[in-house]
């Protein structure tokens, strides 16, 4: 049976790429999102995967760029639907939010086909995602430095919580954030439609980071193997899970020196960072409130009063 997404159309054992038209640019030219259909030779589940929902989060694009050439549809069971770049306008200018309506894409799902630019793109991609049995929404920690992790955003009381946790474990980055996300996230909206969904947050970089991309590629193939898209099975590995976040800002302006690196364990009262003048004169010292793991940190050393510096993942366990 032929499977179509936008202008991409593939029969069993075939792969095709094309465009999913979602509107026009300011000069009236039509534009479309780059899409791919990988139609396996044998029947099976459908996986939907997308990248660059936030226009400056490019590691997911790097994952797609490397995964698709390695897929052999003649050896695949099931179908993979891919939108390689979701936030078209933001991607063009390497910005986080869609500059047409100054909106964050991953707060707009399930979208509105007659709404703003962002809502229309969200609606088109949500329609494609709704055809799937599993969803991977590839992200990164914007331009901050962050652990490679997978986020389960449906909330622990959701009927699909266990299935989303299983998908996160199958992806296998090593770290999982299990915390209910904001309204409008794809990983919140799709589970309400009965589709297990996670968003791998593949590190953080300006441009992209090869190590995070490598982990993302491995994660996609882990999922394909675990859910029987590919014959080679893969065992689940124990993941370190955080159920909460504590964010820390600068109590004074100046230059930040961190005393902990990403992945380091921290204890209450332990120093996370110091703020000094340009001459190294101490201005402030910030300590951890709770036990946890240093999860995310700003990339630039200069801060103003109250500006974000780092996040600690809390309520740590393994599953």
**Structure tokens that stand for 73 in this block:** 């549809």
What average pLDDT score do residues 98-109 get? 97
Residue 69 pLDDT class (50, 70, 90 cuts): very high
User: What is the C-alpha separation between 145 and 110, in angstroms, rounded?
Assistant: 29
Is the predicted pLDDT of residue 272 greater than 90, yes or no? yes
Q: 0.75 cut: is pTM over it?
A: yes
How far apart (Å, rounded) are the C-alpha atoms in residues 150 and 146?
11
Q: Taking residues 260-278, what's their average pLDDT?
A: 97
| Angle at CA of residue 167, ends 166 and 170, nearest 5° | 85
Report pLDDT for 23.
95
What pLDDT is stored for residue 8 in this prediction? 98
pLDDT band at 204 (very low <50, low <70, confident <90, very high): very high
- Set out the domains of the chain in order of their start, with CATH numbers: 3-237 (3.40.630.10), 241-318 (2.40.50.100)
Are 8 and 37 in contact, with CB atoms under 8 Å apart?
yes
Give the model's pLDDT for residue 234.
78
Query: What mean pLDDT value characterizes the chain?
Result: 97
Instruction: Provide φ and ψ at 187, rounded to 5°.
Output: -75, -10
Give mean pLDDT, residues 54-77. Answer: 97
């Amino acid at each position: 049976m032929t499977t179509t997404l936008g202008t991409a159309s593939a029969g069993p054992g075939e792969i095709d790429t094309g465009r999913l038209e979602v509107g026009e640019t300011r000069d009236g030219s039509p534009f479309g999102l780059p899409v791919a259909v990988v139609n396996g030779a044998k029947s099976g589940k459908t996986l939907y995967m997308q990248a660059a929902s936030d226009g400056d989060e490019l590691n997911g694009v790097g994952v797609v760029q490397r995964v698709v050439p390695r897929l052999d549809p003649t050896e695949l069971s099931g179908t993979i639907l891919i939108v390689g770049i979701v936030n078209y306008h933001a991607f063009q200018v390497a910005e986080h939010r869609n500059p047409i309506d100054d909106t964050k894409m991953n707060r707009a799902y399930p979208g509105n086909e007659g709404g703003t630019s962002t809502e229309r793109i969200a609606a088109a991609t949500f329609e494609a995602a709704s055809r799937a049995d599993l969803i991977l929404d590839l992200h990164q920690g914007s331009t901050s430095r962050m652990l490679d992790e997978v986020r389960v955003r449906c909330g622990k009381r959701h009927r699909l919580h266990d299935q989303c946790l299983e998908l996160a474990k199958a992806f296998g980055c090593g770290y999982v954030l299990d915390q209910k996300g904001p309204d409008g996230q794809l990983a919140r909206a799709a589970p309400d439609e009965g589709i297990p969904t996670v968003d791998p947050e593949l590190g953080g970089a300006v441009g992209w980071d090869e190590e995070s991309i490598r982990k993302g590629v491995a994660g996609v193939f882990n999922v394909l193997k675990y859910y029987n898209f590919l014959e080679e099975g893969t065992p689940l590995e124990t993941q370190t899970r955080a159920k909460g976040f504590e964010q820390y800002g600068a109590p004074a302006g100046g230059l930040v020196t961190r005393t902990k690196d990403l992945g380091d364990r921290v204890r209450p009262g332990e120093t996370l960072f110091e703020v000094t003048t340009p001459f190294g004169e101490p201005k402030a010292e910030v300590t951890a409130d709770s036990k946890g793991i240093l999860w995310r940190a700003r990339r630039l050393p200069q801060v103003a009063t109250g500006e974000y510096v780092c996040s600690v993942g809390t309520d740590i366990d393994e599953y």
